Structures are given as structure tokens and as C-alpha cells.
Amino acid sequence: MKVGILGGGQLARMIALAGYPLGLKFIVLDPDANAGAAGLSEHLLGAYDDPALLAELAEKADVVTYEFENVPAHVAEFLSSHTLVYPPAGALAVAQDRLLEKNFFRELGIGTAPFAAADSLADLENAMADIGYPAILKSRRMGYDGKGQAVLRSAADLAAAWDSMQGAAAIVEGFVDFQREVSIIAARSPSGEIAYYPLSENRHRGGILRIAECCDKDPAQSLAEDYVRRLLEKLDYVGVVALELFDAGGTLLANEFAPRVHNSGHWTIEGSETSQFENHLRAILNLPLGSTAPRGYAAMVNFIGGLADDAQLLNIANAHLHLYDKVPRKGRKVAHATIRTDSEAAYRAGLQQLADLAAAADNS
Ligand code: AMP
């Protein structure tokens, strides 16, 4: 079987690494000659919407998946009409637009921060009467890692925040005073079987994920599973999804979902019986899903902008290094490390050491 992937970055790389033991072959479409998955797959070098390359991808792959959600609608449509594409194009359409996404959560009875559409400065001013300060203005489309966002602390911030959207349609959201950010990763197969991972507790800085910790038997697990199940079933979803939630005093509010494998699930590579990457492949190939049971304590630390010394990192007991084969650049995710152990004390100590190395290497 050959799996096609739109995008050849680190997520595609880790999908391919998980697929080799299953005897799978891969073909990626990516405009970067040095794409991280290129060495592990046949590489179609060119634009994501190049008609000839898309036709070749559809022709050669038994199933096509993707590693980013901003796949143009016409590309998803073209691929879907020529081959199997999972997750389905309908999930992309919702995840690409923060307003559709928040309305979708509301329709499913999943809590969110108060929100309103803002297509003009006048809309924004009107909406603030209901939303209240502080709030966040976000572009509806093409936002990730906190990009295309402005914090609103008072009416004095509105005009500049609106200008920063450069005319793009936006959504304004009330600022959630959360205790923590969590995500739930789940996989669904075409038969409707669903596997849920333990919650990840996620720490961000500057809008970028830094640390994700596996939270086994978390009190919020069953509500998070209920929310993600509603989403998966409504979208007739196939593959791995990540639902990001704010935990505000026991109330879970959905922020967004990613229709793909997710950075907050990288600890599953060593920390779970079956990784999110393998379960994504099992789901899209209609194979039985693997156990998501945690293997002791597990966490992941991102390396952003710079790398640690390999030997120093690997000298930390129970640590594992995952390099993305990317040239370090300010703000760029270049690697992650995981820690997995049965000892809580060793876990705490190792996680702190990894976090210190990442902080020292960080130039984001
Ligand atoms: P996003 O691009 O929507 O994932 O936002 C990036 C980060 O900004 C989130 O992980 C939160 O830390 C923060 N954030 C986004 N929306 C809100 C909100 N409504 N209230 C509080 N913090 C938020």
C-alpha cells in the first residue's frame, strides 16, 4: 500500500516512520527540496495546487492524507474525486475557518468562549458590548501558533487591532481565564471505531506549544472524550484528530481542532502503546486501531529555533530525541524530545532537564 501525504514536514516524516514497520510506502507532495519526509518517501517537488503533481499523487497513492489543514478546498475536492482522502474534506472546511469552527462546536453542544464575527471595525465595536474585555481578535483563516491575533484590553485597542487584520474577516472571542490548556487526541476508523488517548496538558509561550504532558486518568477525560466523539461522528471523520480545550475550573471550552496528527500528541511515540502516527495510518487504511494505553509517565518538549547538544540530551535517563532534519531558524520547530518512565521522580527530574535544555536553545 502507498500512502500519499500533502506536505512533507516533520508530521509527514513521523507518519512515514510509523508506517515502515507496517510495510507501507509513502509519496509526499511538498515544494521544499529539503522537506523532512523527502528521504523517507517518493517526493513530488512542487506547489500543493500543481494540477499535474496532484494528478500523479492521486494516481500513485491508495489513500491520501495531509499534515496541515490549510489545504485549498479545490485541491481537497480534486483529490477526493480521484482517490480516497482521509480525513474528509468537510473536516478541513470547518477547521480552516475559526467562525465556522466555533459555530460547529456550538451546534454540537460543546462549550466555547463567547464569540462574534467581525467583518469591520463597526462590527467589532458592536460585538464588544456583549463579549466584554479582555478579548482576542483572530483572523478567521490561516491562523496558527497565535499568528493573526491581537489582544483587546480596552476600547482604545480596537482600531489598531482591526488594522492588524489587514481587512481579513475576523472573529472576536472573550478571553478565557483558564487554569490549564489540554487537548484530546482520538482516532476514528471508517467502521466508526474510536480510540481516545489520555489527555495532554499543554504549556504554551508566545502562542507556541512548548511542553505537552500525558495526563492519565484525568478528571476531565470523560467529558473531553464525549466532546471529541460528537465531533468525529458529525463529520464522519476518519483518521486522527486533536481537539484543543481550555480547562476553566472544571468547565471545558473548545478552542479549535486540528484535522491531523498533532504536536501535543508527540509523547505518544514512546509514551503510548500505539502512537498517534501509527493509529492515524491504521484508521485511514481501515485496519484495527491500536491500544492508546499510556506506558508510564510521558511528556514531550519542543525545541524551537535551536537544538541542544545531542549527547547532552541523550544522557538524560529515559529521554528520546526526534530531529526533524530542519535548519534551525528563529521560531521554527526543529525537534522534540520525549521522556517516558515508570518512575514519577525520574519523570519529573528528566522533564525539568529537557525543559532547561529547550529553554537554553530557544531563540523564538
Ligand atoms: P490559537 O491560535 O487559537 O490556538 O491560540 C493560541 C494560544 O492563544 C492558545 O493556545 C491560548 O494559549 C491563547 N488563546 C487563544 N484563544 C484564547 C482565548 N479565547 N482566551 C484565552 N487564551 C486564548
- Tell me which of 85, 106, 130 is where a domain ends: 85
Q: Specify the number of domains making up the chain.
A: 3
Determine what percent of the chain falls in helix, strand and coil, rounding each to the nearest 5: 35, 30, 35
Question: Are residues 313 and 272 both part of a single domain?
Answer: yes
**Angle at 232 (CA atoms; ends 118, 300), nearest 5 degrees:** 85
Question: Are residues 298 and 237 both part of a single domain?
Answer: yes
Q: What is the pLDDT of residue 249?
A: 87
Ligand 1: which of 178, 255, 256, 264 to mutate, most ligand atoms within 8 Å of CB?
255
Question: Are residues 164 and 198 both part of a single domain?
Answer: no
Question: Which residues does residue 196 pair with via DSSP β-bridges, in sequence order?
Answer: 186
- Asked whether residue 169 is domain-assigned, the answer is yes
- Tell me which of 174, 194, 224 is where a domain ends: 174
Per-residue DSSP letter, 62: S
- Asked whether residue 304 is domain-assigned, the answer is yes
Ligand 1: which of 69, 136, 177 to mutate, most ligand atoms within 8 Å of CB?
136
Question: Are residues 134 and 269 both part of a single domain?
Answer: no
> What is the rounded distance in angstroms from the CA atom of residue 348 to the CA atom of residue 198?
18
- Asked whether residue 105 is domain-assigned, the answer is no
Amino acid at 357: L
Nearest CA to ligand 1 atom 1: 146
pLDDT tens track, the chain, 364 positions = 999 999 999 999 999 999 999 999 999 999 999 999 999 999 999 999 999 999 999 999 999 999 999 899 899 999 999 999 999 999 999 999 999 999 999 999 999 999 999 999 999 999 999 999 999 999 999 865 566 899 999 999 999 999 999 889 999 999 999 999 999 999 999 999 999 999 999 999 988 999 999 999 999 999 999 999 999 999 999 999 999 999 998 799 999 999 999 999 999 999 999 999 999 999 999 999 999 999 999 999 999 999 999 999 999 999 999 999 999 999 999 999 999 999 999 999 999 999 999 999 997 6
68 lines ligand 1 (CB under 6 A): no
> What is the rounded distance in angstroms from the CA atom of residue 19 to the CA atom of residue 99?
35
**Where do we find the cell 502562542?**
207
Amino acid at 305: G
**Domain CATH number, residue 331:** 3.30.470.20
Question: Are residues 31 and 163 both part of a single domain?
Answer: no
Question: Are residues 80 and 124 both part of a single domain?
Answer: no
Q: What is the pLDDT of residue 113?
A: 97
Question: Are residues 119 and 9 both part of a single domain?
Answer: no
> What is the rounded distance in angstroms from the CA atom of residue 320 to the CA atom of residue 71?
32
Other residues' Cβ atoms within 10 Å of the Cβ of residue 186: 27
Question: Are residues 277 and 298 both part of a single domain?
Answer: yes
- Asked whether residue 93 is domain-assigned, the answer is no
Cβ contacts of 222 within 8 Å, gap of 6 or more: none
- 77 is annotated as contributing to ligand binding: no
What is the separation of C-alpha 98 from the centre of its chain, rounded to a whole number of angstroms? 15
Question: Are residues 217 and 334 both part of a single domain?
Answer: yes
Distance 204 CA to ligand 1 centre (A): 9
Domain residue limits at 139: 114-174
Q: What is the pLDDT of residue 207?
A: 85
Q: What is the pLDDT of residue 143?
A: 65
Distance 74 CA to ligand 1 centre (A): 29
Distance 324 CA to ligand 1 centre (A): 26
- Tell me which of 174, 196, 213 is where a domain ends: 174
Question: Are residues 355 and 211 both part of a single domain?
Answer: yes
Question: Are residues 203 and 317 both part of a single domain?
Answer: yes
> What is the rounded distance in angstroms from the CA atom of residue 148 to the CA atom of residue 162?
11
Question: Are residues 335 and 245 both part of a single domain?
Answer: yes
256 lines ligand 1 (CB under 6 A): yes
Distance 53 CA to ligand 1 centre (A): 36
Q: What is the pLDDT of residue 148?
A: 82
Q: What is the pLDDT of residue 250?
A: 78
Quote the cell numbers at residue 229: 466523539
- Asked whether residue 79 is domain-assigned, the answer is yes
Distance 207 CA to ligand 1 centre (A): 7
Query: Which atom in ligand 1 lies closest to the alpha carbon of residue 173?
Result: 19
- Asked whether residue 142 is domain-assigned, the answer is yes
**Domain CATH number, residue 51:** 3.40.50.20
> What is the rounded distance in angstroms from the CA atom of residue 239 to the CA atom of residue 284?
5
- Asked whether residue 272 is domain-assigned, the answer is yes
CA distances from 197 to 32, 65, 210, 212, 240 (A): 32, 21, 19, 13, 10
Per-residue DSSP letter, 257: E
- Asked whether residue 104 is domain-assigned, the answer is no
User: Which of 152-161 are b and which e, b meaning 16 or more Cβ less than 10 Å from the residue's Cβ?
Assistant: beeeebbeeb
DSSP characters over 60-110? H-SEEEES-S---HHHHHHHHHHSEESS-HHHHHHHT-HHHHHHHHHHTT-
> What is the rounded distance in angstroms from the CA atom of residue 239 to the CA atom of residue 279?
8
**Domain CATH number, residue 161:** 3.30.1490.20
